[in-house]
Amino acid sequence: MENIYLPKLAEIKEIIQETADTKTIRLTIDGGGIDFLPGQFGEFSFMGEGESTFGLSSSPLRKEFFEFSFRYSGRATSGINSLNQGDKIAFRGPYGNYFDTSKMKGKNLVFVGGGIGMAPVKSIMEYCLDQRDDYGKITILYGARSVNDLLYKNIFDEWKKYKDTELIVTVDPGGETSDWTGKVGFVPTILEQLPLKGENSIAIVCGPPIMIKFALKSLEEKMGFDKADIITTLENRMKCGLGKCGRCNVGSVYVCKDGPVFTAKELESLPNDF
């Protein structure tokens, strides 16, 4: 008889301090990663401080570890933040649906991430980069409020080295530093300026709700993307991740079970409950 709320203990292999208040933590269970698909999430906790929900941010093809990125802001994340390399994190998952990569094969891909919303994008993006030959041109657009709020700076060069892959990094106006060489502008604005067309392309967009709203508009109205070819993830407060605790639903759809991955077309049919 299985207790579905019982976590596994995962060992912290590496902690990357991404920004002043965000970290990426790499974990292993029984010395390796776990089986999951890009887009899925888990429940993470330092026992005694409560669980938090985070998307998995590594490529599932990189089997030696699995990772997540988080901002510390409450009790549960402060608990996780207090841990060191070698400590244990309680983990449940993976849960939820995933990006349908069969639909993406052979297509041009544009990955759009905003702030910490880059974490789930990173998982599917690195998954595609790991099988680079299966896809057309890859464009990565990543934006944050300021240069100091950019995650994954240490691996930007790694992303760029793949063939036919372009990385554009932008910060909101006012968030640039004197030595900043990237773009300055909101993500949807920069997105519209890119020479991308909707034909034979798939867009993956994750970030704060306001960014998603305008990025979707840009992609659909200005760039000719079909709603079914724009994929995003929803975040709602969760407790169980198992479709029982009753709080993450958007209309009849449970983000933890039917999501978190949805196409813009699917979002269109949902009520304004997220």
Partner 1 sequence: MEEKYFEISGENLKSFIERIIADDFEVIAPIDKDGDTFYGKINRFEEANLDILLPKMSYKEYLLPKTETLFEYSFSGVNTDIKDGLESVAGANQKRVIFGGRPCDAGAGPIMEKVFNWDFKDEFFNERFKNLTIVSIACEKPDNYCFCTEMQLSPESSYGSDVLLKKAGDKYFAIVTGEKGLNLIKPYINLFKEITKDKVPAENDWKKLFEIEKTKSFLDKNFEHNYFQQRFLSCIGCGVCTYTCPTCHCFDIQDEGNLKEGRRIRNWDSCQFGIFTLHTSGHNPRVTQGDRYRQRLMHKFKIYSEKFDKYLCVGCGRCSRNCPEDIDIKEVAKDLADMA
Separation CA 70–CA 21 (nearest Å): 8
Q: Which residue, among 114, 59, 111, has the nearest Cα to 235 in the 3D structure?
A: 114
Instruction: Name the residue nearer to partner 1 (CB basis): 198 or 207.
Output: 207
Nearest-approach distance from CB 220 to partner 1, in angstroms: 22
Of 51, 67, 149, 229, the residue at the interface with partner 1 (CB under 8 A) is 51
Q: Which is nearer to partner 1, 79 or 188 (CB)?
A: 79
Q: Classify residue 260 as exposed, middle or buried by CB count within 10 Å of its CB (0-12, 13-18, 19+).
A: buried
CB of residue 193 to partner 1, shortest distance in Å: 28
Residues ≥6 apart with Cβ < 8 Å to 128: 101, 104, 109, 134, 135, 138
Determine if 269 is a binding residue for partner 1 (CB under 8 A).
no
Tell me the three state secondary structure of residue 10.
strand
Instruction: Print the binding letters for residues 203-222 with partner 1: x by CB under 8 A, - otherwise.
Output: -----xx-------------
Cβ atoms of residues 171 and 189 within 8 Å: no
Contact flag: residue 195 with partner 1 (CB under 8 A): no
Stretch that binds partner 1, among 59-67, 104-112, 160-168, 244-252 (CB under 8 A): 244-252
CB of 189 to partner 1, least distance (A): 22
Q: Which of residues 134-173 bind partner 1 (CB under 8 A)?
A: none
H/E stretch holding 108:
strand 108-114
The answer to whether residues 266 and 226 touch, using CB atoms and an 8 Å cutoff, is: no
List CB contacts of 22: < 8 A, sequence separation 6 or more.
69, 70, 71, 72, 116, 151
For partner 1, the closer of residues 156 and 214 by Cβ is 214
Rg (CA), the chain: 18
Site for partner 1 in 53-92 (CB under 8 A): 71, 73-74, 77, 86, 88
Residue 151 carries which side chain, given as an amino acid letter?
L
Q: Other CB atoms closer than 10 Å to residue 178's CB: what's the count? A: 4
Q: Which is nearer to partner 1, 77 or 123 (CB)?
A: 77
Residue 121 vs residues 142, 179, 219: alpha-carbon distances, Å: 10, 27, 17
Binds partner 1 (CB under 8 A): choice among 37, 249, 262, 264: 249
Q: Which of 146, 189, 242, 266 binds partner 1 (CB under 8 A)?
A: 242
Residue whose CB is less far from partner 1, 161 or 237: 237
- In the list 4, 178, 179, 195, the residue contacting partner 1 (rule: CB under 8 A) is 4
Interface with partner 1 by CB under 8 A: which range of 135-143, 144-152, 178-186, 266-274?
Answer: 266-274
Binding residues for partner 1 (CB under 8 A): 1-7, 9, 45, 47-51, 71, 73-74, 77, 86, 88, 208-209, 235-237, 239-240, 242-247, 249-252, 257, 271-274
